[in-house]
Chains A and B, each alone.
Chain A
Amino acid sequence: GENVGLHLPTLSVQEGDNSIINCAYSNSASDYFIWYKQESGKGPQFIIDIRSNMDKRQGQRVTVLLNKTVKHLSLQIAATQPGDSAVYFCAENYGGATNKLIFGTGTLLAVQP
């Protein structure tokens, strides 16, 4: 049955602060990574992606860092806003003949006004 009482890891930040959400991925052969934002009652929304031949990529207010040595991915959000409150999932793509994504467990970002 349901794992009653399961809690998502939570990051609580003050509005205007920078946020860093971390993710450990599982497969050293993964060559494409995506961060998704999922607001309550909605589907995952693409934020930013990065390929394994890069270690940093910047978007609008967001930066993704990739450390292949330790299989670690992070999402940095600058000047966090209340609208950033959501669950954030990292996803890795094993590549090869499929486009199969494997999602991390997710982090709940709670922005305090």
Chain B
Amino acid sequence: DTEVTQTPKHLVMGMTNKKSLKCEQHMGHRAMYWYKQKAKKPPELMFVYSYEKLSINESVPSRFSPECPNSSLLNLHLHALQPEDSALYLCASSPPWGTLETQYFGPGTRLLVL
């Protein structure tokens, strides 16, 4: 099973709202990722967690706050977003970091910021 699940599928929020995106995998992967994808563009890496610790932050604004409560779950907390943050947010996971392994993606959360 190579399934990564994400909730919600769609999210509409105002610029003053606080919301969270959730991601889950049960493949025993120990690396998890958040990507942002704008229309007709490739995914862009935001954060990487390895063994539940934040390993890479690609200079993402602080209004995006990642959290990895355990090895199966990854959250992205959103606060005071801007309309330009509207995008598809993708979660991915892969076997332990340091090996050249495939990243498996979830279906994404389509976010609209009004």
Contacts and interface: CB of A to CB of B under 8 A. Distances in A.
B106 interface: yes
Given A51-B100, A100-B45, A44 B56 contact: no
Interface string A86-108: 00010001010111110111100
Contacts of A42: 107-108
A43 B105 contact: yes
Contact of A97 (B2, B44, B98, B104): B98
B45 A6 contact: no
A6 B40 contact: yes
Interface string A34-48: 101000011111100
A11 interface: no
Chain A interface, >50% SS class:
loop
Interface residues of A, number: 29
B42 A99 contact: no
Contact of B105 (A2, A44, A106): A44
With most chain B CB atoms within 10 A of its CB, the pick from A43, A46, A89, A97 is: A43
B77 interface: no
A99 B101 CA distance: 7
A45 B92 CA distance: 11
Contacts of B59: none
Interface residues of B, number: 31
Contacts of B75: none
B90 interface: yes
B107 to A, nearest CB: 5
A95 B97 CA distance: 10
Contact of B98 (A99, A105, A106): A99
Contact of A100 (B56, B104, B105): B56
Given A103-B42, A105-B42, A44 B90 contact: yes
Interface of B: 2, 4, 6, 31, 38-45, 48, 55-56, 84, 90, 94, 97-108, 110
